[in-house]
Structure 1
Amino acid sequence: MSTPAAPAWPSSPVLVLGAGPVGQTTALLLARHGVPTVVLDRRPERDRAGSKAICQQRDVLDVWESVGAGRRIADEGVTWTTARTFHRDTELFAHTFAEPGRPAFPPFVNLSQARTEQILDERIADEALVDLRWGHDVVGVEQSADGVAVTLDGGGRVAGSFVVVCAGARGEALRELLGVTFEGTSFDDRFLICDVRADLPGWATERRFHFDPAANPGRQVLVHPCPDSTFRIDWQVPAGYDLDAETASGALDARIRAVIGDVDHEVVWSSVYRFHSRVVDRMRCGRVLLAGDAAHLVSPFGARGLNSGVADAENAAWKIAWVGRGWAPEELLESYHAERHAAARENVAVTTATMDFLVPRDAERVRARAEVLAAAATDPAARARVDSGRLAEPFWYVDSALTTADA
């Protein structure tokens, strides 16, 4: 998939720190521009369990298709067409999405992150310009005028021309090494996530959102369909929630049956997450760019995490390729920060507003939300104010220095 016309890369490879979907995409896009990469991941091997980030937007599928993976991911994924919203077990409204035109890809697909990573790994295995190395924990970063060197736990060093940090949500050490801040909010409530395999007729094309259901009073439940008769169920739970204790007591089984009914089912995977709204103050530090969850964390409602990380990768890859070949000055990298930091701030603002509706922080907001939900049963205007997540969309770079002004 490399660009045939591109001359040989004139310097050392680009280092990509982290082999999650954002790091994989970065490496594959750089290879498409004829740029070699070394991908370093601290884990000993790929974690192949769990749905994690499941919703991949159309523009992301387009990016992945450019490296030979988009069609496969789209064909394996599930696209739900109806969003049902409930309040205290009464359906408030249902919205069916109309697909405009005849695009190559659906507006989004649901597919487990584990499967997406597997497909991208297969593309990497076929790409000679990508060198993926597991068990390489980066503990130091040193920059010079013409390159970057990283130090590994154990003393080894790897030299590169640029670095893209895609180390995910647990990139605290790398952010500290780069001297960037990570300001924002962490929410006290947790979210229990279970991948449940079951035969649920009629649910395969529906997303279901429950506000204050009887089985989870005062909190929320969200159900997303995934391939292979699997459903991703998210429960908002209190800060002290203990998954192991609930599993051992049988309460988890009762919790699941309260959502799907008394049907046979299998719990494929489960986990508990704490959600954050945070963004670094700088996404470019010299020859080092930060991307994905290493640069910004948002709640998953609206699917703005992985999708915005892939947009980071697409923005970073071509700019590194152009600067590295001398086709553009190094200042082009500053536009990466300007464009993607603005996108990150917008995503934080949108998802924080959603979390404020889902988890009201004071009595006044609790009262206001209750009024909106009560009115939504009969008032279409009130339904527009019910915020269970605003779906991700590409960010418009209207304020970028690269965008030509229109009088």
Structure 2
Amino acid sequence: MGSPAVIVIGAGPVGQTAALLLARWGLPVLVLDQRPRRDLEGSRSICQQRDVLDLWSALGVPEAAEEGLTWTTARTYYRDRELFSWSFDLRGPLPPFVNLSQSRTEELLDAAIAAQPRIEVRWDHEVTDLEQDAGGVTVRCGERVLRAPYVLACAGGRASGVRRALGVTFDGHSFDDLFLICDIRADLPGWENVRRFHFDPEWNPGRQVLIHPCPDSTYRVDWQVPPDYDATPDDISRKIRQILGDREYTLVWQSVYRFHSRIASRMRVGRVLLAGDCAHLVAPFGARGLNSGVPDAENAAWKLAAVLHGWAPEELLETYHDERHAAALENLQVTGATMRFLVPGTPAGRAHRRDVLERGAAEEIDSGRFAEPYWYVDSPLTTPGRPFAGRPPKGQSPPPAPGVILPDCSIPGGRLRELCRAGFLLLLGEMCDSSLFAQILGKVTTAPLAVRELAEIDGTGALAETLGAAPDEAWLIRPDAHIAAIIPHAGPDDAAAALSRALRLRVQ
């Protein structure tokens, strides 16, 4: 590999995904990680949402969706009684999520990276300083000096040195209580497809316990424990026995950690972009950590590619901060509300939670709103049009609108989303002349662009009906599968203006 176009700091799932995306865009990538080698221990981040699985499939890693376990039922308990249960809608070409250990996810992504000649990974490279100038970024790892036009920092929540070098603050707070995590392997008939959330069980009074099934008869158990908790082998065994009784089990891995709620003051500083836990930390209820870090990587990758290939001006990179910082704030808001219910910090909050649980008011019990793609409705790249319906009910997706991610659905020969991510995609109703649109839009940019008629993709009309697309509409889809514009009564000039806006091009 020659000189890198982008240095990615951090070889976790977010950095791995970013490297694969950048390489897919034809860019040489150098990945740096401060660890001496890959540490494949523990479940850590276990829940990958459908849109993340879709992206990994596009990168040649379909095994994550295939190997992961999708539980079907969520049961919620208060003390010794079940309050309610609910199930995911499992319809669709991909599962709504899977449970798969981060260790296995990293193995799968590593295999894809090893097959990609544009990516080089260097371990034992701790970044000690960053310096920028008009031509690029100098990255120092002790005495070693590296350079690239751009840097994407995916170095995790403890990357204080990287943030300090950029002058970025990491404001927020940490929760006092600790959480004990154990991966347990056991034969538990009837538990394989059920997630259990226990409020105030007699074997963890005043706190919560969450039990997730994972592949290979493994279960992830999270106990909320006091700030001074001492994770001795005897106490861990006692806690497990309180759940499993006298069943045989194997303790595979354990860890104790504290939840944080923090966000970087900037996610773009000149030629350096921050992504994943390096830019934001949230409590894990709702699985909004990895499932927001991977969209960070995708958003950054297509914009870096557009700038480096000359398809867009450098000011496009500022919209990375605009869009993903807003997404991080949304996640902080959602997870903050969850943590205020799970760990109320005031007598009034504790009384409210006790009242809600005693009444079994399912609609008021907040154990986490599951991760969902952020909607770029207010982005400068989005052309206003069809109104956004607002945040949908829990477990549902918003109807298609500018800024929302394109719904995935089955089409003849595959899935709709498989047509995305190679560049921009223009979907046309039957009243639009595709050859004329292609001719006009080809004059706007040299960025990859595919123009497809909905009737050509699916001659039955089912696709247009699923999307709610009118015969005279044009839908412009970004390389990250988000809808940039839905243009009614569309003409080629309207579509060209939307494409210019989506790339921050100056309209002549």
Shorter-chain TM-score: which interval?
A: over 0.9
Asked whether the equivalents of residues 277 and 289 of structure 2 are also in contact (C-alpha less than 8 Å), the reply is: yes
Matches within 5 A, 1:34-45: 34-45=26-37
Match of 1:388 in 2: 367
1:62 matched to 2:51? The reply is no
State the Cα deviation string for residues 8-60 of structure 1 (Å, max 9, x = none).
99x74200000000000000000110011000000000010000000000000
Match of 1:159 among 147, 151, 157: 147
- Structure 1 counterpart of 2:87, from 86, 96, 104: 96
Residue 189 of structure 2 is aligned with which of 201, 217, 221?
201
Find the counterpart in structure 2 of residue 322 from structure 1. Answer: 306
Equivalent in the alignment of 1:131: 120
The counterpart of 2:40, out of the listed 48, 51, 56, is 48
Give the whole-Å Cα distance in 2 for the aligned partners of 1:252 and 1:54: 21
Shift, 1:261, TM fit: 2.3
SS of the counterpart of 2:364? coil
Counterparts of residues 214-253 of structure 1 (less than 5 Å) = 214-243=202-231, 246-247=232-233, 250-253=234-237
Which of residues 370, 374, 382 is equivalent to 1:403?
A: 382
Tell me which residue corresponds to 1:310: 294
- Determine which structure has more spread, i.e. the larger CA radius of gyration: 2
Alignment of 1:269-348 (within 5 A): 269-348=253-332
TM-score by length of 1: 0.93
Shift of 1:251: 2.0
Match of 1:369 among 335, 353, 368: 353
For residue 14 of structure 1, the aligned residue among 2, 6, 12 is 6
Name which of 49, 66, 74 aligns with 2:65.
74
CA distance in 2, matches of 1:276, 1:262: 35
Aligned mates of 1:251, 1:289 — CA distance in 2: 43
Equivalence for 2:100: 111
- The answer (yes or no) to whether the contact 2:23–2:119 under 8 Å persists in 1 is yes
- Unmatched runs of 5 consecutive residues or more in structure 2: 387-508
1:352-390 C-alpha deviation (Å, 9 max, x unpaired)? 1111111010110000001100111xxxxx201111111
In structure 1, the residue matched to 2:405 is: none
- The offset of 1:260, in angstroms, is 2.2
Partner residue in 2 for 1:27: 19
Task: Give every structure 1 segment of 4 or more consecutive aligned residues whose post-TM-superposition deviation is greater than 6 Å.
Answer: none
- Determine the C-alpha separation between the residues in 2 that align with 1:359 and 1:55: 22
2:478 corresponding residue in structure 1 = none
CA distance in structure 2 between the partners assigned to 1:330 and 1:251 by the alignment: 55
Deviation at 1:66, TM superposition (A): 1.3
Amino acid corresponding to residue 383 of structure 2 in structure 1: T
Task: Work out the CA distance in 1 between the residues paired with 2:151 and 2:22.
Answer: 12
Shift of 1:138: 0.7
Between 1:259-268 and 1:190-199, the stretch displaced more is 259-268
Report whether the alignment pairs 1:181 with 2:169.
yes
Letter in 2 for 1:64: W
SS in 1 for 2:125: coil
Q: Would the aligned equivalents of 2:129 and 2:161 in 1 still touch at CA under 8 Å?
A: no
Separation in structure 2 between the aligned mates of residue 312 and residue 336 of structure 1, nearest angstrom: 8
Q: Provide the residue aligned with 1:5 in structure 2.
A: none
Q: CA deviation at 1:259?
A: 1.4
List gaps (5 residues or longer) in structure 1: 1-7, 377-381
**Partner letter of residue 220 of structure 1?**
Q
1:153-175 CA-partner distances (Å, limit 9, x unpaired): 2x110111100000011111111
| Counterparts of 1:327 and 1:91, CA distance in 2 | 56
Matched to 2:103, the amino acid is: A
Structure 2 match to 1:83: 74
Amino acid at match of 1:131: E
Aligned-partner Cα distance in 2 for 1:12–1:359 = 45
Q: Give CA-to-partner distance per residue, 1:202-232, whole Å, 9 cap, x none.
A: 1111100000000000000000000010000
AA at the equivalent of 1:331: E
Separation (CA, whole Å) in 2 of partners of 1:89 and 1:128: 56
Output one character per residue of 1:235-294: Cα deviation in whole Å (capped at 9) or x when no partner: 000111111xx21xx221110011122200010000001000110110000010000000
- 1:146 aligned partner: 135
**How far apart, CA to CA, are the structure 2 residues paired with 1:195 and 1:311?**
27
* Count of aligned pairs: 386
1:61 Cα shift?
0.5
2:484 maps to what in 1? Answer: none
Q: Distance in 1 between matches of 2:297 and 2:135?
A: 22
Cα deviation code 1:291-331 (max 9, x no counterpart): 00000000110000001000000000010001011110000
Which secondary structure state, in structure 1, belongs to the residue aligned with residue 128 of structure 2? strand
TM-score by length of 2: 0.75
Letter in 2 for 1:81: T
Supply the RMSD in Å over aligned alpha carbons: 1.2
Residues in 2 aligned to 1:89 and 1:169: alpha-carbon distance in whole angstroms: 37
Per-residue CA deviation, residues 141-191 of structure 1 (Å, 9 max, x unaligned), is 0111121110112x1101111000000111111111110111112100010
| Structure 2 residue 241 is the aligned partner of structure 1 residue 257 | yes
Cα distance in 2 for residues equivalent to 1:276 and 1:32:
33
Conserved? CA contact 2:88–2:96, under 8 Å? no
**Whole-angstrom CA distance in 1 between matches of 2:327 and 2:179:** 25
**Structure having greater relative contact order (Cα 8 Å, sep ≥ 6):** 1
